[in-house]
Amino acid sequence: MLLLYLATCYFQAYCCAYQDCPYIGGFCPAITGIMPSSWMAKLLYGRKINKSMKLFNLNAGVAAAAMFAMILLPIYWIFTALGVWYVVGYVGFLVVYYLVFMLTVCPACAIRGTCPGGKLQGMVFRG
């Protein structure tokens, strides 16, 4: 879990720097707690980055895959230790968490127009 979390943050850091996110190096209301991405972006890239859409898409894809794997990883152990209803509860909690996040944080985010989460929020709740 820790390695998946760190991978998510590391690959997201390029995306932060690529998008010239104003939160780099400071507090960021990042989805699912990937706050270290802001600090990693400052350490790895500062304000100078070789921008490449290909690299952005690669980093965003790997970050999303690592985050998705981090979400899926506990399901087997929850199921075997506690049963199917706890898996349903876990998935339900995640759905509620992301819905609340997209309703409260995404609309106020500085990069909601370029962030995949912000774009999804805009599509879902405006149309």
Q: Which two tokens stand for residue 96?
A: 């509620």
- Asked whether the whole model's pTM tops 0.75, one would answer yes
Q: Which two tokens stand for residue 10?
A: 């590391």
How high is the pLDDT of residue 93? 94
**Is 109 in contact with 115 (CB distance < 8 Å)?**
yes
Torsion on CA atoms 116, 27, 73, 10, rounded to nearest 10: 80
The residue with tokens 């152990």 is: 77
Q: Which two tokens stand for residue 80?
A: 């075997």
Distance CA 104, CA 22 (A): 19
Local mean pLDDT, 10-residue blocks, the chain (127 residues):
92 89 80 78 85 90 91 94 97 89 74 71 72
